[in-house]
Structure 1
Amino acid sequence: MAASSAHALVVYTSVDEENATKILDAFKADTGVDVQMVFLSSGPALSRIEAEANRPQADVWFGAPSENHILAKERNLTQPYVSASAGDLADNMKDADGYWHAIYTNPLAVGVRTDILESRGAPIPSSWEDLTNEAYRGLIQMPSPQSSGTAYAVILTLNELWGEDKAYEYMKALNPNVQTYTQSGTAPSGALGVGETPIALQFSPGFLKLVDEGFPVQVMFPSEGVGYEVAAMSILKDAANLDDAKKLVDWMTSASGQAKLSENKTYFLPIRSDVSAGEGIPTLADIKLVPYDASFASENRQRLVDRWVDEVLGQ
C-alpha cells in the first residue's frame, strides 16, 4: 500500500448527511477506499479549511455550491487535478484548471399533479409563459424571494432570459396564478404531494422524489431555460491522502459514479449528459440551463427582492 493511502480519506462534506453517506458508501464499495466523513455546512467548512490551511486535517471538500469552491481556489486553499472524466463535463460543471469538479446539479423545475389538472380540464404547462395561463389562477405554489434562495434563483433566471424589466412584468402577470408564496424553498413540493396545489416551483429533487414514490407527478423544465445550483468538490492543498482524493474525483465524475446518484435515490441530477436521473427524467442534455453571474447575484439581491415586494406583491 502506498504511503499516501495508509489512512482513510478524510472528507469535509457539505452535502446533507443522508445523501453524503449514500454517495460515499457507494464510492467505498466500488473502490475499497475507506472514507472518514465530517459534516459541515458551506460557511463553516470554508472557515475551517482556511483555519487549517497550514496543517490540513482533511483531503477533500465535498459539496457546497461551486461559487464556494471558487472562493477556496482564490484563497489558495485547494490544488488542481484534472480528472480523466473532466473532458465529458460541460464547462460550467468544472474549473478549467481542475481546481473543482461538479458532483451534481439541481435545476429549477415545475412539478405538476397531472391528475388534478386533468380533472379541471387544464393543460400541462411546458414553459414559463404557459404558467401565466388563466386556467392556473390560484393554483401555483412557489417560494418567496424574501426568505428563499430558490425563489431568488427564479428572479435571476428570468432576468437572464428576458432582461430585468420584462422579468418583473412576467412575475406581475404570474402573481394572480400564485396560490401562496412559501417561506421555505422546498415547501411547494410538499404541498404538491398532498394535493394542496397542482403546480409547484422549486429546485428539482423534491419533485423527483414524488415521481419515484409513485405520485401522479410530472416534472417540467421550462423550455425557455432554467437556473440551477451546482454542488462541487475540491482537493485541499497539501492533502495527506492525495492518491485517494484523486480516486474520489475520478469516480464521482465518471458515468458509473454519477449513476449512483439515482441508484441510491439522492434525487440529485447527474452532471453528465449521458447519465439519466431516472425513469422519465430528461438528461442534462435535454434541459436548457441558464447560468447567471454570481457577483451580480450577490451585489443586487436586496435591490431585486425589494423590487419584487414593491411591484409584484404590492400591485
Structure 2
Amino acid sequence: MKSWFASCLVAISLATPGIAYAQKTKVTIYTALENDQLGPFKASIEKAVPEAEVVWVRDSTGVITARFLAEKDNPRADMVIGLAASSLLAFEKAGLLETYKPAGVDKLKEPFRDPKEPYTWTGMDAYLGVVCFNTAEAKGVPVPSSWKDLLVPGLKGKIVMPHPASSGTGYLMVAGWLQTMGEAEGWKFMDGLHENIAAYLHSGSAPCVQAARGERVVGLALDMRGASEKTKGAPIEVIIPKEGVGWEMEASAIVKGTKNLAIAKKVADWGATKEASELYSKTYAIVAAPDVKNTPPNYPAGAEAGMIKNDLSWMAENRDRVLAEWSKRYESKAAPKN
C-alpha cells in the first residue's frame, strides 16, 4: 500500500508542471517592437504574470495599425504593446480600447499618461527628431542652434530628412514644426527647408547615416541613431534646436472585448512598473518611469527638456490632411523607393 501511495505522489509531482503549463492563458499581443525585443519582453511579462503565455503578432507600425482597424468588428488581439501612441489614439477614437488605468501609473512622467478620461493607454518610451550635423563637411557653415539655421544658402542640396508618409520620424518632425511655429509659419519654414533638401528618404535613421558618412552635411533623424553614429566615431554633432523637437512614443493598451481581461489587466500593470521601464531603456533613452535612466554615450544634452508640448491627438487627427498638403508641395524630391 505504501509503495502504491508513494508511486501516486511521484506521478502527481511529475504531472504538476504540465498541469501548471496547461493552465496558462494565451495572451495575443499586437506589436511593432523590434524582433530582438520580443524575447526579453515575453520573458519579463511571463515572470510578472505567470499565468500568461505571450503570443506576439509583429509587423511595422503602419501594417499593425491597418490590420487592427480592419479587424475592428472581430478583434483578434487581447492587447497592443509597443505601437505608436498616435495609432492608439485612433483606436481610442474608434472605441476599440478597454477602459483601464494600470496600478502605479500615477508615478509615471506626465506625458506618458493618457490625459483624457476614460483612461485607455499608457506610454512606454519616447523617440525624438534631431539634427545630425557633419562638422567636417560643413565648409564654413556654423553649427545650427535653431531650426531656421538650416535655411542658410550654404546648405543648399546638403540636407536629407525622412519622408513623413513613409517614416514616423518624418511625420513627428513635420507635426512638431506646425505645432510650435503655427500652420502659416510652419509651412513657410518647410518651403525654405525644401530649397536646401537633397532628398526625402524612406527611413527614420538613414538621414543621419548619410550625414555621418559625409554624404550630406545635415541629416534630420532619430535621436538614438544620432548618438549611435557619433559613438562610432562619425564627425557629427547631435543637436536639439532651441525651439524644441517633435516626438512620438510607444504605448500599450487593452483591446475592448478581450476574453482575457483579468490577465490583460495584470500585463498592463506590468507595463507601468519600474522593471518594465528598465527594459524599455535598453532601446530608448527617454522612458516612462522617472527614476530609470540609461542614457547612451553621446546622447544630446537637454533632449528630454527639448521635447515640445506635443498634442498627440492633433497628430492623429490631422495626419491625412498634413501629409496630403506636404506631398503636394514637396513630393518632387522624394527618393525612389527600393
Q: TM-score, normalised by structure 1?
A: 0.78
Distance 1:201 1:249 in 2: 34
Alpha-carbon displacement from aligned partner over 1:8-51 (angstroms, at most 9, x marks no partner):
43322233433344433444456655422122422113333x24
Structure 1 residue 163 corresponds to structure 2 residue 186: no
Structure 1 residue 301 corresponds to structure 2 residue 319: no
Structure 1 residue 271 corresponds to structure 2 residue 288: yes
Considering only aligned residues, what root-mean-square deviation do their CA atoms show, in Å? 3.5
Alignment partner of 1:235 out of 230, 234, 254: 254
Deviation of 1:188 after TM superposition, in Å, equals 0.8
Deviation of 1:100 after TM superposition, in Å, equals 1.0
Contact 2:123 / 2:251 at 8 angstroms: preserved in 1? Answer: yes
**Which residue does the alignment assign to 1:125?**
144
Deviation of 1:89 after TM superposition, in Å, equals 2.9
Contact 1:93 / 1:230 at 8 angstroms: preserved in 2? Answer: no
Deviation of 1:137 after TM superposition, in Å, equals 4.2
Q: How does 1:139-178 map to 2 (within 5 A)?
A: 139-145=158-164, 148=167, 150-178=169-197
Q: How does 1:91-130 map to 2 (within 5 A)?
A: 91=111, 93-94=113-114, 96=116, 97-114=118-135, 116-117=137-138, 120=139, 122-130=141-149
Deviation of 1:224 after TM superposition, in Å, equals 0.7
Distance 1:135 1:299 in 2: 32
Q: Which has the larger radius of gyration?
A: 2
Alpha-carbon displacement from aligned partner over 1:153-178 (angstroms, at most 9, x marks no partner):
43332222222332233233334443
Contact 1:262 / 1:268 at 8 angstroms: preserved in 2? Answer: yes
Distance 1:149 1:12 in 2: 18
**Which residue does the alignment assign to 2:221?**
202
Deviation of 1:199 after TM superposition, in Å, equals 2.0
**Which residue does the alignment assign to 2:110?**
90
Deviation of 1:80 after TM superposition, in Å, equals 1.8
How many percent identity over aligned positions? Answer: 24
Structure 1 residue 77 corresponds to structure 2 residue 96: yes
Distance 1:295 1:2 in 2: 45
Stretches of structure 2 lacking an aligned partner (at least 5 in a row): 1-18
Go from structure 1 to structure 2 and tell me whether the alpha carbon gap of 1:247 and 1:115 turns closer, same or farther (over 3 Å shift).
farther
Go from structure 1 to structure 2 and tell me whether the alpha carbon gap of 1:274 and 1:211 turns closer, same or farther (over 3 Å shift).
farther
Deviation of 1:267 after TM superposition, in Å, equals 4.0
Q: Which stretch has the larger CA shift, 164-173 or 283-292?
A: 283-292
Distance 1:226 1:155 in 2: 10
Report the 3-state secondary structure (helix = DSSP H, G, I; strand = E; otherwise coil) of the residue aligned with 1:286. Answer: coil
Alignment partner of 2:32 out of 14, 25, 28: 14
Distance 1:103 1:47 in 2: 25
Alignment partner of 1:24 out of 37, 42, 50: 42
Q: TM-score, normalised by structure 2?
A: 0.73
Stretches of structure 1 lacking an aligned partner (at least 5 in a row): none
Contact 1:270 / 1:284 at 8 angstroms: preserved in 2? Answer: no
Structure 1 residue 46 corresponds to structure 2 residue 69: yes
Distance 1:236 1:146 in 2: 26
Contact 1:108 / 1:154 at 8 angstroms: preserved in 2? Answer: yes
Which amino acid letter does the alignment assign opposite residue 27 of structure 2?
L
